[in-house]
Amino acid sequence: MAERTEIMNELERDRYFLQIAMEEGARAEEADTVPIGAVLVDSKGEVFACGRNHVHSEMDATAHAEIDVIRKAREAMIKSSDERQFTLYTPVEPCVMCSGAIYLANIKRVVWALDDDNFGGFRELKQHPRYEARLKKISTTSMPFEDMANFQRDRMIRWDLRRGKQNHWPEVAMQ
Per-residue pLDDT of the chain (175 residues; tens, 9 = 90+): 344 444 558 899 999 999 999 999 999 999 999 999 999 998 888 999 999 999 999 999 999 999 999 999 988 877 766 666 899 999 999 999 999 999 988 899 999 999 998 888 899 888 888 888 888 889 999 999 999 999 999 999 999 999 899 888 888 877 6
CB under 8 Å to 7, separation ≥6 — which residues? none
The reported pLDDT for the residue numbered 81 is 61
b/e burial code for range 149-161 (CB count within 10 A of at least 16 → b): bbbbbebbeebee
Backbone angles phi, psi at 87, to 5 degrees: -115, 135
The reported pLDDT for the residue numbered 173 is 77
Q: Catalytic one among 24, 29, 66, 93?
A: 66
Distance CA 57, CA 136 (A): 34
Q: pLDDT of 78-110, one tens digit each?
A: 776 666 689 999 999 999 999 999 998 889 999
The answer to whether 83 is a known catalytic residue is no
